[in-house]
Amino acid sequence: MKVQNTLTTGTSRRVFTAGAISVVAALALSACGGAAATAPATATAKPDLKASGASTITMWVDAERSPALKDITAKFKAETGIDVKLVVKDFAAVRDDFITQVPTGKGPDLIVGPHDWVGKFVQNGVIAPVELGDKTDSFQESSVKAMTFNGSVYGVPYAIENIALLRNTAIVPDAASTFDEVVANGKKAVADGKAKFPFLVGMDPKQGDPYHLYPLQASMGSQIFGLTADGGYDPKQLLIGDAAGVEFAKKLAAWGDAGEKIINSNITGDIAKEKFLAGESPYYLTGPWNVPDVQKKGIKFAVDALPTTGDKPPSRSSASTASSSAPRAPTPWPPTSS
């Protein structure tokens, strides 16, 4: 993503939300500014970014992704002569730090982050659109759409993450296709003394967790926003209060604290993970970011497709049928087993 120049001096810094650094090399030519290289480009010539005045690129990245980028940035330096300085930032604070620092000229040249930051960055005037050009078809359509805001693309997608249902196969050996089956299997596991919780999903006592629960909502035909003609979200079309939304709300009440307690509002994300790692539930609704810890724990598990609650697919995408404010790039997370 390019940083909008909010300084009064002639200095202009540009930033991308980048993941796959292999595509950043091509984009860095426009990121560095300055004069073009004097030698004409050839099919075999390396990009002479230093001729554009760049010698170091600073990238803000969280601790989880920093190790994976070290080899890539070393290769980038070998190919271009440009150093990439990785600055590890607290994921919880980096978005607001970026908004604060960019106008001062102290922000990074690159930042790694989820696509649902784009809207706030645009609204704060700290980024400008990027052009993927003939590289667009190299990306999955849903990932490009996720990086699109008001018709313009603001970042380079590098990965797609999606939630799914982890199942402890030692407790429940077979996959379920509906949420009713999940609940029944979980209750039986508790009754048989094999588990303490029929189902786990991280919640916030005050806010719940619409991100993880949205697939169950979508399966009942309930959406948050309608769509514009180009497939984007239309905030003027608030649909969550329609008949399907009301039915989903009734289901939440039946599953929740005042009902069957299948979804417990006092079980936070950390607690849900802890209990699943302890083998206290057959099911855990989560994403790939928690799979490594499950593997390290030695739990035999399967990654099941999201269960249905209605007659529609439990999609993360409101375009196919989503967004945290725009949910993470929506594609099915393929069922696998371990």
The answer to the question of residue 323 being in a domain is: yes
pLDDT, position 7? 38
Residue ranges of the chain with pLDDT lower than 50? 2, 5-44, 317-338
pLDDT, position 28? 30
State whether 88 and 191 are in the same domain.
Answer: no
SS percent in the chain: helix, strand, coil, step 5: 35, 15, 50
The C-alpha atoms of residue 10 and residue 65 are separated, in whole angstroms, by 33
Q: Cα–Cα distances in Å, from 44 out to 67, 82, 200? A: 30, 18, 54
What is the residue range of 104's domain?
Answer: 16-153
Show which of 153, 188, 212 is a domain's final residue: 153
**Number of domains present in the structure of the chain:** 2
**Cβ atoms of residues 164 and 287 within 8 Å:** yes
Indicate the residue type of 34.
Answer: G
pLDDT by residue (tens digit) across 266-321?
999 999 999 999 999 999 999 998 999 999 999 999 999 999 999 999 975 433 22
pLDDT, position 1? 53
State whether 146 and 169 are in the same domain.
Answer: no
The C-alpha atoms of residue 269 and residue 200 are separated, in whole angstroms, by 9
pLDDT, position 132? 93
pLDDT, position 52? 62
State whether 191 and 111 are in the same domain.
Answer: no
State whether 121 and 181 are in the same domain.
Answer: no
- The residue behind tokens 């393929």 is 334
- The secondary structure of residue 46, as a DSSP letter, is P
Show which of 110, 131, 153 is a domain's final residue: 153
Show which of 94, 127, 153 is a domain's final residue: 153
**Cβ atoms of residues 196 and 277 within 8 Å:** no
Residues in Cβ contact with 175 at an 8 Å cutoff, skipping those fewer than 6 apart: 167, 302, 304, 305, 335
The answer to the question of residue 159 being in a domain is: no
